[in-house]
Structure 1
Amino acid sequence: MRTLEIILLVIITILPFLKRGFLKKIAKKNIMFFLSGLVLLHLIIDGYRWQMIPTYLLTLILVWCLYKEYPFFDGGWIRKTIRGIALILLLLFGWALPYILPVFNLPRPTGKHNIGSQYIHLKSTQDEIMTSDVGDKRELMIKVWYPAILDNEKTESYLNEGDRVSFAVKHGLPKTIFNYLDIVKTHTYIKPSVAIGKFPVLIFSHGSYSQASGYYALIEEIVSHGYIVLNINHTYESTGTLFPDGEIKLFNSEYDRKQNNQEMAEMAWNAMQDYNKATTPEEQFKTVHNLILNYYGAELTERYSNDISLVIDELKKWNTSTFLAHHLDTTKIGVFGHSQGGAAAGQALLDDGRIKAGINVDGMQWGKIIDTKMTKPFTLISSEWDDLHPNLNIHAYHNGSSSDFYNAKILNSGHSSFMDIPLMINLPFINEAGTIHPRKAYEVTTNIVLQFFDLYLLDKHSNLLELSNKYPELELTKKTIKKLPNTVR
């Protein structure tokens, strides 16, 4: 919560319990004007947000009581009880709502570059398989984050309308519920010029059914250190995609239900039952081989990987005829992503020879990786999964790598520790971010990402392996995973 909000809440919490004799020593007009002025100051400086409605309401009630010289707890015990319950409820919601859903501050980027963003609408010739419309072709919106030269541009609002509305629809909330995010200050400026020079290109892929650009804390920091990040919004796979004509294409739940069906559920259930009975790594591998190769996640991984290649196909054109002209170093392409997007990063590293290195951030690596191996530099960053969450990535990557393979685990983190969700929702048991401080998780993650790509895209000296000495929250190893003996083919 912000300072004025806390001051206002403290005063209205104490005021109803002050004795009448004490209040008489202070002119009621002074208290009324102070409260009214404090609310006005809050609205001017902080801005209105719906989380403060219980606070506004209780303030109005208290001002009215002062004006009428009407003690809040006057009357018989029934009246006192009713008013007491009402007061407790208003105070409970008054304190809880702005705390749980705060106007948060994004981490300040530490790199030397300012950050700009623009959108590119990619229209492909590939059929759109996720709709039944005849002739429908795959279209993507790409948010381009880049090092910028500023000339009085304004910072953008946190999340565009497509991300906000679709996130509300996902959770059955009013579409305007996230309007308060206009108050959140980003460090990304609207359409400034790209900084002088060529920059390495990182393609970022989001998690399934998540906000495509809900990763400001990570991406702003990375861009500030001299990378261009192409943030793909996988149409029908994110919560929603906003197109230039104002249309928002939401997550295609119908297609998802048809593909991620009862057969898939039974496949996962049976595999996990057998997995839990297995007594050796070799037996465990046999129980999940078919699951990793053929589960619905493998289809998603292939589809996301295809989108990544569609973007790479356009880089040459964008490097000559868009605001990015002559700023893309297309010889230095990396890919990273979170959750399903992390799996896509691993898959794209296999599928597309133009990608030099990749990072999977807490994604289960479904698909054909189980029958092959990595041949390019790769990092798997994991949250600290609990014992009930089987680590199938051990088996997905069982063939190891002929190149450098890093395995990083951030202790006490959760699956959403790599998103902005822990900032938006300030309750760990809801935001699934573990017990690590969100800013510490971002700091560790961005350091891994930057050190890794600095080394393998820019040939810079890297202290990647030393990060585990710097951060006690990090377990980091570099290895080629040994092939398990007697595995099936």
Structure 2
Amino acid sequence: MRILEIALLVFVTILPFVKRQSIKKIPKRYLITSICVLMVLHLSVEGWRWQMIPAYLLVLILGWCLYKEYSFFNGGWIRKTIRGIALVLLLLFSWVLPYILPVFNFPRPTGKYNIGSQYIHLKSTQDEIMTSDLGDKRELMIKAWYPAILDNEKTEPYLNEGDRVSFAIKHGLPITIFNYLDLVKTHTYIKPSVAMGKFPVLIFSHGSYSQASGYYALIEEIVSHGYIVLNINHTYESTGTLFPDGEIKLFNSEYDRKQNNQEMAEMAWNALQNYNKATTPEEQFKTVHNLILNYYGAELTERYSNDISLVIDELKKWNTSTFLAHHLDITKIGVFGHSQGGAAAGQALLDDDRLKAGINVDGMQWGKMIDTIMTKPFALISSEWDDSHPNLNIQAYHNGSSSDFYNAKILNSGHSSFMDIPLMINLPFINEAGTISPNKAYEVTTKTVLQFFDLYLLDKHSDLLELGNKYPELELTEKK
């Protein structure tokens, strides 16, 4: 919570319990003036937000009581009890709502570059298979984050309209519920010029049915160290994609239901039951081989990988005729992603020779990786999964690699520790971010990502395994 919010809440929490005789010793105009000044300062400096509405209501009630010189707990015991319960409930909501849904701060980027962003609308000639309309072609929105030169540009608001509206629709919430995010300050500026020089390119792929650009904490830090990150919004796969004409294309739940159907559920159930009964690694592999190869996640992984290749197809053109012209080093292209996007990063390394290295951030590697040997530098960064969660990636990557392959685990983290969710929702049992500090999880993750790509795209000397000694939260090994 913000400083003036806390001050306001402390005031309205203490005041009702101060004895009437004590209050009478202070002229009421001083108390009323104090609470009015505090309220005005909060509204003008920090700005109002709906989470503070219970606190604002308490301010009005207590202000009226002060003006009328009326004791909040005046009357018989029944009246006092009712008012006491009402007060406790109001105070509970006054503290809990702004705490759970705070106006949060992103970690300050530590690199030497400022950060800018612009959107690119990619129109392909490939048929769109996720709609029933004949003639539909696959279209993507790409958010380009890049090292920038500033000239009085403003920072962009956190999450665009497509991300906000679609996230609200996903959870059945009022569309205006995320307006308070306008109060969140990012470190990304709106359409500044690209900094001088050429920069290596990292393509980022988000998780399925998630906010495509809900990864500011990670991406801002990476870009500040001299990378251009092309953040794909996989149309119909994210919560929503905002196009230049204002249309928002939402997650295609109908297509998802048809493909991720009862047959898929039974396949997963039977395979996992047999997996849990298996007594040797060889038996475990046999029980899940077909599942990893043919489960619906494998189709998603292929489709995401295809989108990544569509972006790479455009890089030469973008390097001559867009705001990124002459700033893309297309000889140094890496890929990383989270969850389903992480699986896509691994798949894309197999599918596209133009990619040099990649990182899967906490994604289950569905698809043909299980029958393949990785031949490029690769890292798997995982959260600390619960023991009841079967680690099928052991089977998916069982063939290993002919190149460098790293296995990293961030202790006490959860699946959303790599997203902005832990900052947005300040309750670990809801945000699925484990018990690790969100900022510590971001720090460890970005250090690992940066040192990996510095080594394999920029040929900078780096001993990745030393990070495990630097951060007790990180278990990092190299798989031979």
The offset of 1:134, in angstroms, is: 1.0
Residue in 1 that maps onto 2:151? 151
For residue 458 of structure 2, what is the amino acid of its counterpart? L
The offset of 1:130, in angstroms, is: 0.4
Residue in 2 that maps onto 1:487? none
Which structure 2 segments of 5+ residues have no match? none
Residue in 1 that maps onto 2:108? 108
**Structure 2 residue 420 is the aligned partner of structure 1 residue 420:** yes
Residue in 2 that maps onto 1:440? 440
| In structure 1, distance between residues paired with 2:22 and 2:244 | 61
| In structure 1, distance between residues paired with 2:159 and 2:462 | 33
**Structure 2 residue 7 is the aligned partner of structure 1 residue 2:** no
Residue in 1 that maps onto 2:238? 238
Residue in 1 that maps onto 2:220? 220
For residue 340 of structure 1, what is the amino acid of its counterpart? Q
Which structure 1 segments of 5+ residues have no match? 481-489
| In structure 2, distance between residues paired with 1:174 and 1:139 | 28
**Structure 2 residue 118 is the aligned partner of structure 1 residue 118:** yes
The offset of 1:444, in angstroms, is: 0.3
| In structure 1, distance between residues paired with 2:8 and 2:385 | 40
CA displacement 1:199-255 (0-9 Å, x = unmatched): 000000000000000000000000000000000000000000000011111100000
| In structure 2, distance between residues paired with 1:288 and 1:373 | 18
**Structure 2 residue 309 is the aligned partner of structure 1 residue 309:** yes
| In structure 2, distance between residues paired with 1:319 and 1:449 | 24
Residue in 2 that maps onto 1:76? 76
CA displacement 1:251-275 (0-9 Å, x = unmatched): 0000000000000000000001100
CA displacement 1:73-121 (0-9 Å, x = unmatched): 0011111111111101110000000000000000000000000000000
Residue in 2 that maps onto 1:168? 168
Residue in 2 that maps onto 1:484? none
| In structure 1, distance between residues paired with 2:287 and 2:233 | 34
Residue in 2 that maps onto 1:457? 457
For residue 209 of structure 1, what is the amino acid of its counterpart? Y
Residue in 2 that maps onto 1:348? 348
CA displacement 1:29-80 (0-9 Å, x = unmatched): 1111110110110001100100000000001000001111111000111111
Where do 1:92-107 residues align within 5 Å? 92-107=92-107
| In structure 1, distance between residues paired with 2:275 and 2:186 | 45
RMSD: 0.5
| In structure 2, distance between residues paired with 1:86 and 1:244 | 48
Residue in 2 that maps onto 1:370? 370
Residue in 1 that maps onto 2:271? 271
For residue 261 of structure 1, what is the amino acid of its counterpart? N
For residue 35 of structure 1, what is the amino acid of its counterpart? I
| In structure 2, distance between residues paired with 1:204 and 1:367 | 19
The offset of 1:416, in angstroms, is: 0.3
* Count of residue pairs brought into register by the alignment: 480
Where do 1:12-23 residues align within 5 Å? 12-23=12-23
* SS of alignment partner, residue 176 of structure 1: helix
% identical equivalent positions:
88
| In structure 2, distance between residues paired with 1:49 and 1:101 | 10
| In structure 2, distance between residues paired with 1:222 and 1:373 | 29
Residue in 2 that maps onto 1:297? 297
For residue 28 of structure 2, what is the amino acid of its counterpart? K
The offset of 1:463, in angstroms, is: 2.9
The offset of 1:420, in angstroms, is: 0.4
| In structure 1, distance between residues paired with 2:117 and 2:406 | 31
**Structure 2 residue 403 is the aligned partner of structure 1 residue 409:** no
* SS of alignment partner, residue 186 of structure 2: coil
| In structure 2, distance between residues paired with 1:296 and 1:13 | 52
The offset of 1:360, in angstroms, is: 0.1
| In structure 2, distance between residues paired with 1:159 and 1:335 | 22
For residue 272 of structure 1, what is the amino acid of its counterpart? L
| In structure 2, distance between residues paired with 1:264 and 1:145 | 37
**Structure 2 residue 33 is the aligned partner of structure 1 residue 41:** no
| In structure 1, distance between residues paired with 2:90 and 2:192 | 45
| In structure 1, distance between residues paired with 2:223 and 2:309 | 21
| In structure 2, distance between residues paired with 1:20 and 1:274 | 70
For residue 69 of structure 2, what is the amino acid of its counterpart? E
Residue in 2 that maps onto 1:181? 181
For residue 422 of structure 1, what is the amino acid of its counterpart? P
For residue 93 of structure 1, what is the amino acid of its counterpart? F
CA displacement 1:279-301 (0-9 Å, x = unmatched): 01110000000000000000000
Residue in 2 that maps onto 1:199? 199
For residue 193 of structure 1, what is the amino acid of its counterpart? S
For residue 199 of structure 2, what is the amino acid of its counterpart? F
| In structure 2, distance between residues paired with 1:240 and 1:90 | 35
| In structure 2, distance between residues paired with 1:340 and 1:418 | 13
| In structure 1, distance between residues paired with 2:462 and 2:158 | 32
* SS of alignment partner, residue 178 of structure 1: helix
| In structure 1, distance between residues paired with 2:141 and 2:359 | 22
Question: Stretches of 4+ moved more than 3 A in 1?
Answer: none
* SS of alignment partner, residue 177 of structure 1: helix
| In structure 1, distance between residues paired with 2:41 and 2:252 | 44
Residue in 2 that maps onto 1:381? 381
| In structure 1, distance between residues paired with 2:226 and 2:190 | 18
| In structure 2, distance between residues paired with 1:212 and 1:479 | 31
CA displacement 1:326-348 (0-9 Å, x = unmatched): 00000000000000000000000
User: What TM-score does the superposition give when structure 1 sets the normalisation length?
Assistant: 0.98
**Structure 2 residue 260 is the aligned partner of structure 1 residue 281:** no
| In structure 2, distance between residues paired with 1:171 and 1:31 | 42
| In structure 2, distance between residues paired with 1:463 and 1:31 | 61
* SS of alignment partner, residue 152 of structure 1: coil
